[in-house]
Structure 1
Amino acid sequence: MKHLCDHCHLEFDEKVLLKTKIGKEEKYFCCKGCEGVYKLLNSEGLEDFYSKLGNNTLEPATQILENESLDSFDSAPFFERYVSVKENLCEISLILEKIHCIACVWLNEKILAKTNGIIKVNLNYTNNKATILYNPKAIKISQIIQTIRQIGYDAHAYDPRLQEAYANKEKRDYYIKMVVGIFCVMNIMWIAVAQYAGYFSGISNEMRNILNFAGFALSTPVLFFSGIIFWRGAWAALKFRTPNMDLLVISGASLAYLYSIYASFKGGETYFESVAMIITFVLIGKFLEVRGKKSAVDNLDKLNAQMPLSVRVLQTPQNSESQITRDSNPTQDFQEIAIESVRVGDIVQVRPGERIALDGVLLSQEALCDESAMSGESLPRIKNAGDSIYSGSLALNCPFEYQVCKVFKDSLMMKIVGLVENSLNARPKIQEAADYISHYFSLVILSLAFGTLLVWEYMLNAPFERSLMVMISVIIIACPCALALATPIASLIGLSESLKHKILFKEARFLETIAKADTLVLDKTGTLTEGKLKVLNVRYFNAQNALDSKDCGILYSMLTQNAHPISKAVLEFIGQKNEVISLDSMIQINARGIVAKVQDNTYLGGNLMLLQEHNVEIPTPLQDTQASVFYFAKDSKILVEFTLQDTLKKDAKETIAALQQKGIACILLSGDNAGACQSVAQVVGITEYYAAQSPLDKANFIDKLHKQSKVVVMAGDGINDSIALGKSDIAIAMGGGIDLAISVSDVVVLDDSMQGVLDSFRLGQRTYRFILQNLGISLVYNALTIPLAMAGFVIPLIAALSMSLSSLLVVGNSLRIRDSRS
């Protein structure tokens, strides 16, 4: 009898399955790993994962994530799924639990960075994701996890498809603690009203003691249950001598709590209501902050949510020539397997409405694909046999099959997802300064608070109760979290917004750099223009007024081996039914053209400079045109002249005008001829342009701009401009060749539009402006409120409310980045 494993949903003979009673139900598992993961997800309230999984299947879980030996983190399946190898080093992404302030981030980074075998650590406060580069010969993953647990935190492997569940669990934990706090505060307020009424109208000692005990009973669960997250953080801060926000909150609340117990016996004023309110208000602030950060990440999470968990793979021998040409046959045997298990060469079937999971090549029939998830192109693309199929695309018409050419990790959509997830690891310079201040902020505040106590007690001769309350107010009102959140939350939302506009920033620090840029260098073909040249005119230089079949075949053979847009346009014009003639040798010269040898003849295909360099006879006059010209010559004589013209992108002129209004100097740098460059520059409104530039010339030009203290952004097609792109401060690659564009650039305009270049500047400037605003809010808040608290104008209750408000102001201000275009 067959039965499904309750975790991976794979079918097995019931005799080999493990039977386990969980709750009142009998569950079946194919291995201990699946049983462990099932128990983990249910204990953590993550059972919704199985409803989202639906009828899909998983690979059997050979590792157990928690509540089992840490050795499972070192298993081969875990390594294969979660670890990427970079030369002799390994990189893993972990989600750290119980992180709730910048000091937690700093503490984990500091401890891990000092651990032998760990090369580099980046921990992102906005999503608690730690990217760790380590030497597998010196340290194991289990040892990394153990180190994190030893300092009071926990970690699990980053899995995009489970992150939503973990985020909901975190919100639920905050919510439960917050509800307990609010319940106790609402009841303790009635007690406080009675105490204040008794203060004015008189109250017996017996009644005062009863009210004090009630206040004690209600404030205790708030301090020790709702406030447990602050206690953990404070303990870690003391243990590793790194004062943080948790230490400030717990110090203030605990001092008020202990003094209130003392005052209950001595007959003084108690502050149990302040204890409950301090913890509850700060907790509410943290809960809203968590929701704000989750809201900012939502747009990034949508990328992961789009990808299916499994695909249907043809169960036949793989990688045969017949698979590439055969027709679709829906009756053949397809089996659904996890996408991580699909190999290069497998045949995958896709049905209408399904998302394509892996990159591949379409087989024999036509397909209609929506690629808007990557390129932003609203119209679907018609794919023919042999065309590339990209992961993330949506199948629209009949079922079709394609052959996988890249595994899941290397597919286009996962590359984009990976870059988005890692984009916050390299922090902006301004964030490094804010983090440095935050590290020492809490220690300074504790020192100021103790100094305030001494001044009020010994210099102002205030009662100890009054001096203590002033000190508590100083401790509580200070908020390093607002300062620590100022940059990362704004950067995260800026990256999220850029993704909406089909712009991919590979690192958050590029938002700051592009905001400071004052010069934009543009390539022409493929950037300002469509890059789809067409032959407008042909002129022959022989009596026959045509090319003979041999010369035409040689030209055809030369053009088929060159990817330049001019070559493609001429190739399209002459047609693809020419005889292919074998070339003895062929050299491609950047910014010039092609040189080929056939027997004793030298053939040239390229621009006028190529002809001049090879001493070709130049008839006069040649075509005087502002369009591109391609010459085909044999030995020392020109055979034919092709005049081509490119079309401007529809938004090029408006984009250049908008950039110039922002004070950005626009320069055209092209390898094309002077006439073509002048024509394009005049139309779009660029006054400074340079033609006939080789890749090295472009790179040298970027160096000259740097010597003039310019912050340079270059936009190019990511192919001929690779050297210059590498020299620029920010390299923007147009998304026409997405794989290559991602590899050589800092920013990718996925929809290949000039509007995307403008939006890159706009979003960078807008995000940086809001970062400065956030820093201003946090610094002004602390500069105003701390002196007020030291002067005794703020009670602890108002201090707690104010502290939470400052963090919420920073989060709320950052969310304004989403507003309409400025």
Structure 2
Amino acid sequence: MKVACTHCQLEFDESVMIKEEEGSDVHYFCCKGCQGVFHLLRSEGLDTFYEKLGKNQLEPPKELQDDLHKFDLEGFRKKYIIERSDGLYEIFLIIEGIHCAACVWLNEKVLHQTPGVIEATINYTTNKAHVIWDPEQIKLSQIIEKIRAIGYNAYPYDPKMQEERANKARRDYYSRLLVAIFATMNIMWIAVAQYTGMFTGMRSDVKDVLNVAEWVLATPTLFYSGWVFFRGAWFGLKNRFVNMDLLVASGASLAYTYSIWAMVTGKGEVYFDSVTMIITFVLAGKYLEVLSKKRAADTMDALSNALPTEVTVIESDTKIMVPVEEVNPGDIIEVRAGEKVAIDGVVVSGEGSFDESSLTGESEPILKVKGDEIISGSVAIDGVVRYEATKDYGSSMLTTLVGLLEESLTKKPKIERLANEISGYFSLTILSIALLTFIGWLWMTGEFERALVVSISVIVIACPCALGLATPVATLIGINLAARRGVLFKEAAFIETMAKADVLVLDKTGTITEGKPHVVNAKMYSEYDLNLLYSLVKSSIHPVSQGIAHYLEEHYENLKELPLEGVKQVQARGIEAKFEEHKLLGGNAKMMQEFGVEVDEKSEYTLFIFAIDKEIVARFELRDLPKEGAKEAIAEIRKLGIDIVMLTGDNENAAKRIAKEVGVTDFKAGLFPEDKAKEIDFLHAEGRVVVMAGDGINDALALSKSDIAIAMGSGSDVALEVSDVVLLDDKITSLRDAFLISRRTFKFVKQNLALSVIYNSITIPLAIAGYVIPLVAALSMSLSSLMVVGNSMRIKSGFGK
């Protein structure tokens, strides 16, 4: 005999079912997963799910069933599934159909209850799930099937698909808002005519025509533009949440329904203008929220272009290109100038300079010789080096950093929003007051129409336009002001968190400093053709050579490049070349000595010596300089009561020198990316709200750990993606502006919320008492919104030029 599963309603033979007796009730389950979900829903008070389900089955549609096999194919596994060293599998999925925090909770709980699933975390902002499972106990297709069984869908994370979905959502909100704005602008002209007619007299037939015109405009606004509020209210009620969407939907619907009755019967006034204004104002706030969402494409996508996919492996003196995943410890890898190191190792032959600034923050290239360690993520500047891989690709430093970053982003705390903290209580309270008002007036007067009008007035006058606009309007003005000053806030809510910050962590190279060597001292020993030096340094991409070239271009005119012969890069030392009969040498003291040129002078800075035919003719000292205005900006930030800490991977001496020049007293040097992240964790443990500014891959992990991550506009793609705020002009003075604007904006957000509370405290009692008709309520609601907008405009006027 076949019986239905208590959870999914699918029928199977009773002999294969899990039978569970509970008093007089008998439950059958087709699997332990269904049994676990059933008890989970009951324990959390969500068993009304089965009442809504009725006799419907949770069996996925045929087209979804048919594609389950693809999740277990070998090609799919190689493309999307990560095989861990402990034998577990992990994948990133997009859960489709998530609308609220309750959806996240339900999916996580169901996955945790599924045998074989080790870990499951879902990011509500991106709907991205990180799932780890034991392939010996469960297949991915079974995990997907379980998610579909509770009414959602899941598919592997694909950046392109996510970007398309995000763009589709933005376009949908944009079209709905356009319809609402168009209807509101036109309906207000009609409303002006009606309001005027109330005092000057208007024929009833003209009034009827205007009422119909308003109805035509209000209908698409309510049912098309306002659909997002009906949907939000439904999901809220479904999960036992009373939200602002329910208040907007109920207020607008009641006003719309009453207006239709008034239009048809000719009794009372219509309030279609109130309907459109309610929807338009609050939808504008919703649209701002959609625009401010971070791109669904994850930070890791930016790294895909930065990580090499193949390396040159030496086998029996033969060079072959091998995918990075197939390289094993002990393999010999060759790396040439301009190539990025993909796997950690130790140099076995050759030597060359490597730029590690993106990982360690070290501003100067580092010479690597036999026996030195090479770090994945560094870039070869010159020379040809062969090194022995000491790790595989999955455990190399850069790959490990990516994994740590992914984990950190998944667990990043959500930013709290002041308005949302009270919106649920506010909405429930207003609806309760409106219902009690209706009952009270109906009992006192016995007039249904009068009671309905008064209760609608309560809902409309308390409609959370002012409350809903308190944050988005102020933050929008703050964001626009910041953008004009070179500061891009990726999300409006970040302004609030930054305003609460009490400590600023700064990277050194590229953040406080320019990130490239500048000539700080130049000495000419004898006259020579400057074009010779200019031509020599222009033939190299080395940062020191570029610094010399930049100095010459700034201080001398009419420079031209001469046709040099035999240009050769001397690894980690300099350049040699010939011009006509002259031998040109440019480089450090070690290179000069190797070519028999006597050098007596030393320098604490990077030294570049230029010699013609073994005679020194010029000497340059270079170092990384602080950015313009850095000292003054740091001093002003400190005046705001914010502590400043500098963290750098550079050496102690360089860090100490820069810290002294810009007025930073608290700094730590020689840090790797993990060390910087630990310092952020220490600050969090002390209860600090941390803002960090950085520009390189080495800063990405620490940036993701901070409450607000700020990236320089010229920084690495990874730093830009993980950041919450971007300084478009790279100026540290813009960092100061970011703090000033965020604090002033948040101050006005709180003022707006206070104004909204005061407004509701005065107007709601008046509406309950029957002194406010829906017409006045709508006007009052509009005025409260204008009051909030007008107050927010003061952010810009008060900030200065």
Q: 1:376 to 1:760 in 2, by over 3 A?
A: farther
Q: 1:795 to 1:406 in 2, by over 3 A?
A: farther
Identify the match of residue 427 of structure 2 among 431, 442, 446: 442
Identify the match of residue 470 of structure 1 among 452, 457, 468: 457
Do residues 107 (structure 1) and 107 (structure 2) align?
Answer: no
Deviation of 1:229 after TM superposition, in Å, equals 1.9
Question: What residue number does 2:625 align with?
Answer: 650
Question: What residue number does 1:71 align with?
Answer: 68
Deviation of 1:482 after TM superposition, in Å, equals 5.3
Question: What residue number does 1:160 align with?
Answer: 159
Q: 1:428 to 1:472 in 2, by over 3 A?
A: closer
Task: Check the 8 A contact 1:253/1:279 in 2, yes or no.
Answer: yes
Question: What residue number does 1:718 align with?
Answer: 671
Give, in whole Å, the separation in 2 of the partners of 1:392 and 1:678: 21
Deviation of 1:787 after TM superposition, in Å, equals 3.0
Q: 1:521 to 1:75 in 2, by over 3 A?
A: closer
Give, in whole Å, the separation in 2 of the partners of 1:651 and 1:65: 64
Do residues 738 (structure 1) and 682 (structure 2) align?
Answer: no
Give, in whole Å, the separation in 2 of the partners of 1:377 and 1:655: 20
Question: What residue number does 2:758 align with?
Answer: 784
Deviation of 1:242 after TM superposition, in Å, equals 0.5
* Deviations 1:184-216, CA, capped at 9 Å, x for gaps: 5566557656755765535347x7666555544
Q: 1:715 to 1:186 in 2, by over 3 A?
A: same
Q: 1:262 to 1:687 in 2, by over 3 A?
A: closer
* Deviations 1:124-167, CA, capped at 9 Å, x for gaps: 54xx44445566668954256537746xxx76654333343222
Matched residue of 1:515: which SS? coil
Question: What residue number does 2:257 align with?
Answer: 258
Matched residue of 2:100: which SS? helix
Deviation of 1:246 after TM superposition, in Å, equals 1.6
Question: What residue number does 1:247 align with?
Answer: 246
Matched residue of 1:92: which SS? strand
* Deviations 1:32-84, CA, capped at 9 Å, x for gaps: xxxxxxxxxxxxxxxxxxxxxxxxxxxxxxxx999775736844555655566
Task: Check the 8 A contact 1:367/1:397 in 2, yes or no.
Answer: yes
Question: What residue number does 1:203 align with?
Answer: 203
Give, in whole Å, the separation in 1 of the partners of 2:221 and 2:161: 31
Superposition pairs for residues 268-667 of structure 1, below 5 Å?
Answer: 268-271=267-270, 273-274=272-273, 276-278=275-277, 280-282=279-281, 284-286=283-285, 288-290=287-289, 292-293=291-292, 304=301, 319-321=313-315, 343-344=326-327, 359=342, 412=398, 419=405, 423=409, 426-427=412-413, 431=416, 436-451=421-436, 463-464=450-451, 466-477=453-464, 481=468, 515-517=501-503, 650-651=625-626, 659=634, 662=638
Task: Check the 8 A contact 2:95/2:155 in 1, yes or no.
Answer: yes
Aligned identity (percent) is 22
Task: Check the 8 A contact 1:718/1:741 in 2, yes or no.
Answer: no
Q: 1:381 to 1:177 in 2, by over 3 A?
A: farther
Q: 1:189 to 1:648 in 2, by over 3 A?
A: closer
Matched residue of 1:242: which SS? coil
Task: Check the 8 A contact 1:523/1:715 in 2, yes or no.
Answer: no
Q: 1:171 to 1:756 in 2, by over 3 A?
A: closer
AA of the residue aligned to 2:240: R
Deviation of 1:464 after TM superposition, in Å, equals 3.3
Task: Check the 8 A contact 1:733/1:749 in 2, yes or no.
Answer: yes
Q: 1:667 to 1:401 in 2, by over 3 A?
A: closer
AA of the residue aligned to 1:783: V
Q: 1:223 to 1:684 in 2, by over 3 A?
A: closer
Task: Check the 8 A contact 1:223/1:253 in 2, yes or no.
Answer: yes
Task: Check the 8 A contact 1:491/1:511 in 2, yes or no.
Answer: no
Q: 1:368 to 1:229 in 2, by over 3 A?
A: farther
Q: 1:736 to 1:659 in 2, by over 3 A?
A: same
Give, in whole Å, the separation in 2 of the partners of 1:486 and 1:289: 9
Give, in whole Å, the separation in 2 of the partners of 1:83 and 1:65: 25
Q: 1:658 to 1:69 in 2, by over 3 A?
A: same
Give, in whole Å, the separation in 2 of the partners of 1:147 and 1:807: 46
Superposition pairs for residues 185-200 of structure 1, below 5 Å?
Answer: 185=184, 192=191, 200=200
Superposition pairs for residues 11-50 of structure 1, below 5 Å?
Answer: none
AA of the residue aligned to 2:756: N
Give, in whole Å, the separation in 2 of the partners of 1:748 and 1:198: 56
Deviation of 1:380 after TM superposition, in Å, equals 11
AA of the residue aligned to 1:769: R
Task: Check the 8 A contact 1:359/1:388 in 2, yes or no.
Answer: no
AA of the residue aligned to 2:104: E
Matched residue of 1:231: which SS? helix
Question: What residue number does 2:22 align with?
Answer: none
Matched residue of 2:463: which SS? helix
Question: What residue number does 2:236 align with?
Answer: 237
Matched residue of 2:268: which SS? coil
* Deviations 1:361-408, CA, capped at 9 Å, x for gaps: 999999999999989999999999999797798x9999x999999769
Task: Check the 8 A contact 1:370/1:380 in 2, yes or no.
Answer: yes
Give, in whole Å, the separation in 2 of the partners of 1:324 and 1:797: 81
Deviation of 1:496 after TM superposition, in Å, equals 11
* Deviations 1:639-686, CA, capped at 9 Å, x for gaps: xxxxxxx9986339986776466156779999x999x89996995598
AA of the residue aligned to 2:747: Q
Give, in whole Å, the separation in 1 of the partners of 2:789 and 2:81: 36
TM-score normalised according to structure 1 size: 0.50
AA of the residue aligned to 1:443: L
Task: Check the 8 A contact 1:96/1:130 in 2, yes or no.
Answer: no
Question: What residue number does 1:45 align with?
Answer: none
CA RMSD of aligned residues (A): 7.4
Task: Check the 8 A contact 2:255/2:272 in 1, yes or no.
Answer: no
Deviation of 1:254 after TM superposition, in Å, equals 0.9
Q: 1:500 to 1:67 in 2, by over 3 A?
A: farther
Give, in whole Å, the separation in 2 of the partners of 1:498 and 1:80: 46
Give, in whole Å, the separation in 2 of the partners of 1:79 and 1:237: 37
Deviation of 1:258 after TM superposition, in Å, equals 1.7
* Deviations 1:196-251, CA, capped at 9 Å, x for gaps: 5765535347x766655554454333322332222211111222220112211110
AA of the residue aligned to 1:651: P
Give, in whole Å, the separation in 2 of the partners of 1:350 and 1:810: 60
Question: What residue number does 1:146 align with?
Answer: 148
AA of the residue aligned to 1:267: G
Q: 1:403 to 1:763 in 2, by over 3 A?
A: farther
AA of the residue aligned to 2:201: S
Q: 1:84 to 1:686 in 2, by over 3 A?
A: same
Give, in whole Å, the separation in 2 of the partners of 1:476 and 1:484: 15
Task: Check the 8 A contact 1:129/1:158 in 2, yes or no.
Answer: no
Give, in whole Å, the separation in 1 of the partners of 2:794 and 2:129: 28
Question: What residue number does 1:590 align with?
Answer: none
Give, in whole Å, the separation in 2 of the partners of 1:211 and 1:744: 56
Give, in whole Å, the separation in 2 of the partners of 1:491 and 1:115: 41
Q: 1:669 to 1:144 in 2, by over 3 A?
A: closer
Give, in whole Å, the separation in 1 of the partners of 2:731 and 2:498: 15
Question: What residue number does 1:224 align with?
Answer: 223
Q: 1:476 to 1:180 in 2, by over 3 A?
A: same
Deviation of 1:285 after TM superposition, in Å, equals 0.2
Give, in whole Å, the separation in 2 of the partners of 1:420 and 1:799: 48
